[in-house]
């Protein structure tokens, strides 16, 4: 295996820099999808129908899942993707143009950096990072190797939502001072599973990759890693990234100056480590904005017209963003209905457009959104785990006078899977 992915050298830079010529509309863009158990299905179903886009390769450490998805893909689209276990074979494949990452969270940053080093463009699922410190390495890699890196925050590619933000910025509801993100997902109790030997079709070492070693268990393989701090980020770092991204976009903010978080487990006595209920309060001192983020499981009302959405409050009214594609303005004390709209999200299409043009300004979800939207969730999680109200320096991206909290802003890595610091990308 090519050692550049272990040594993190710049050996791939010339190839990456040479691969920046725009694709013509007739050029076939070849895609490899990394992780096809869950969200990866949306990736290959989003890419394959596009003109002159070909999904050629599935990568999954579990060959049973990879082969199952390949058969489903062949039945639907008429050709069978190659199935491999080790993503590094994709990075060495010169015929692959795009890597689409739908692995567990702890793999996102390293897979993105490796792909950029190999001259591939990247679509990376939310959250773009597993910890705040990783985002700067991703940004550095995208810039150094002239790569298009798109973050999977689909609502950015709904023309209706884009219209709503434009109206917000034009002052339709006056001075916008506050936002609320609602993250209300139906999450049942988790069944407990003991540690055991991995199944024969799963390369568990590859599944772990940069993540902390834990014995194999169905508690976290496959989907339930979301609720384990070593591999996931809880609901605020799952569905919640859409809402933290929308919150930042609508308010025109990035990271807070003050954050407080409280919550816990009040429903289920199970092995979930992350909170079922979480409320985070954020102040953005430089912009003079305020935000509330609410995570809630099980039975709940809808505060927007969707269980997951955003509310923006202004001096003359408020805006409700529902899901990924609908908005409604309400004006004045009587909440008189104002402008509204709905349109589908075309985020995979927007990414391919940018891959063809080589223009980052064509992107709706550039790599910076991966850092900041994920970062807001990370900062809130750290406040929850630290048990208090914390002061944060958004310029240094560090908590003030809190070494314990700052340790939680970064990951440690297993040997051979180290993520380079930005200056070493």
Query: What's 315's domain CATH number?
Result: 3.30.360.10
The band of 7, judged by pLDDT with boundaries at 50, 70 and 90, is: very low
Contact 295, 240 (CB under 8 A): yes
Residue 221 and residue 290 in one domain: yes
Question: Please, is 260 exposed, middle or buried when counting C-beta atoms within 10 Å of its C-beta (0-12, 13-18, 19+)?
Answer: middle
Tell me what the pLDDT averaged over the chain comes to.
Answer: 95
**Does 83 fall in a domain?**
yes
**Does 200 fall in a domain?**
no
Contact 306, 239 (CB under 8 A): no
- In this predicted model, what pLDDT tens digit does every residue of 24-44 receive, in sequence order? 888 999 999 999 999 999 999
**Does 386 fall in a domain?**
yes
pLDDT at residue 50 above 50? yes
Residue 185 and residue 106 in one domain: no
pLDDT at 5: 53
pLDDT at 157: 98
Residue 39 and residue 84 in one domain: yes
For the chain, how many residues are written?
Answer: 425
**Does 205 fall in a domain?**
no
Residue 420 and residue 384 in one domain: no
Going from the C-alpha of 368 to that of each of 19, 23, 145, 395, the distances in angstroms are: 22, 23, 15, 15
**Does 172 fall in a domain?**
yes
Residue 165 and residue 253 in one domain: yes
**β-bridge partners, 389:** 260
Interval 244-250 mean pLDDT: 98
Residue 263 and residue 240 in one domain: yes
- In this predicted model, what pLDDT tens digit does every residue of 92-104 receive, in sequence order? 999 999 999 999 9
CA distance 209 to 166: 41
Interval 216-244 mean pLDDT: 98
Report the side by side order of strands in the sheet with 389-393: 336-342, 326-331, 317-322, 308-314, 176-185, 289-297, 277-284, 258-264, 389-393, 398-399
- In this predicted model, what pLDDT tens digit does every residue of 272-324 receive, in sequence order? 999 999 999 999 999 999 999 999 998 999 999 899 999 999 999 999 999 99
Domain total of the chain: 2
For the chain, the helix, strand and coil percentages under 3-state DSSP, each to the nearest 5:
35, 25, 45
**Does 247 fall in a domain?**
yes
- Domain enclosing residue 240, as ranges: 161-190+216-343+377-402
CA distance 417 to 100: 19
pLDDT at residue 9 above 90? no
CA distance 316 to 301: 25
Distance from the Cα of residue 25 to its chain's centroid: 28
Interval 347-360 mean pLDDT: 98
Q: What is the CATH number of the domain that holds 86?
A: 3.40.50.720
Interval 195-220 mean pLDDT: 98
Residue 11 and residue 136 in one domain: yes
Please tell me whether residue 306 adopts helix, strand or coil conformation: coil
**Does 298 fall in a domain?**
yes
Residue 179 and residue 255 in one domain: yes
The band of 8, judged by pLDDT with boundaries at 50, 70 and 90, is: very low
pLDDT at 78: 98
CA distance 418 to 121: 21
Interval 151-159 mean pLDDT: 98
pLDDT at 395: 97
Helix extents (H) in 125-211: 134-144, 159-170, 204-208
Residue 168 and residue 304 in one domain: yes
Residue 174 and residue 81 in one domain: no
pLDDT at residue 14 above 60? no
With vertex at residue 335, the alpha carbon angle to CA 332 and CA 340, rounded to the nearest 5 degrees, is 105
Residue 416 and residue 339 in one domain: no
- In this predicted model, what pLDDT tens digit does every residue of 57-82 receive, in sequence order? 999 999 999 999 999 999 999 999 99
Residue 223 and residue 316 in one domain: yes
**Does 207 fall in a domain?**
no
- In this predicted model, what pLDDT tens digit does every residue of 337-346 receive, in sequence order? 999 999 999 9
């Amino acid at each position: 295996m090519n050692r550049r992915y272990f040594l993190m050298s710049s050996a791939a830079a010339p190839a990456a820099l040479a691969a920046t010529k725009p694709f013509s509309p007739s050029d076939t863009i070849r895609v490899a999808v990394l992780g096809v158990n869950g969200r990866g299905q949306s990736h290959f179903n989003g890419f394959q129908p596009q003109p002159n886009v070909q999904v050629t390769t599935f990568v999954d450490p579990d060959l049973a899942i990879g082969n199952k998805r390949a058969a489903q893909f062949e039945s639907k689209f008429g050709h069978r993707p190659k199935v491999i276990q080790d993503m590094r074979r994709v990075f060495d494949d010169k015929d692959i143009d795009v890597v689409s990452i739908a692995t567990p969270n702890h793999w996102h940053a390293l897979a993105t950096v490796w792909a950029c080093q190999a001259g591939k463009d990247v679509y990376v699922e939310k959250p773009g990072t597993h910890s705040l410190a990783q985002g700067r390495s991703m940004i550095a890699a995208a810039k150094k190797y002239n790569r298009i890196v798109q973050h999977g925050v689909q609502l950015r590619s709904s023309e209706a939502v884009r219209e709503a933000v434009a109206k917000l910025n034009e002052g339709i509801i006056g001075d916008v001072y506050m936002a609320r993100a609602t993250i209300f997902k139906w999450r049942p109790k988790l069944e407990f599973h003991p540690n055991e030997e991995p199944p024969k079709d799963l390369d568990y070492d590859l599944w772990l990759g940069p993540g902390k070693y834990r014995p194999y268990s169905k508690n976290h393989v496959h989907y339930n890693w979301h609720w384990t701090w070593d591999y996931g980020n809880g609901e605020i770092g799952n569905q919640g990234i859409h809402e933290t991204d929308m919150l930042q976009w609508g308010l025109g903010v990035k990271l807070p100056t003050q954050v407080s978080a409280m919550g816990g487990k009040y429903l289920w006595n199970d092995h979930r480590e992350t909170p079922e209920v979480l409320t985070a309060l954020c102040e953005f001192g430089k912009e003079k904005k305020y935000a509330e983020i609410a995570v809630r499981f099980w039975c709940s009302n809808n505060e927007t017209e969707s269980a997951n959405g955003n509310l923006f409050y202004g001096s003359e009214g408020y805006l409700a963003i529902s899901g990924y594609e609908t908005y409604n303005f309400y004006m004045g004390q009587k909440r008189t209905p104002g402008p509204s709209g709905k349109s589908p999200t075309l985020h995979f299409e927007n990414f391919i457009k940018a891959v063809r043009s080589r223009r980052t300004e064509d992107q709706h979800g550039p790599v910076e959104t991966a850092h900041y939207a994920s970062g807001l969730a990370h900062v809130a999680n750290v406040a929850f785990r630290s048990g208090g109200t914390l002061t944060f320096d958004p310029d240094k991206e560090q908590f003030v006078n809190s070494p314990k909290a700052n340790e939680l802003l970064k990951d440690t890595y297993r040997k051979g899977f180290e993520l380079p610091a930005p200056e070493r990308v």
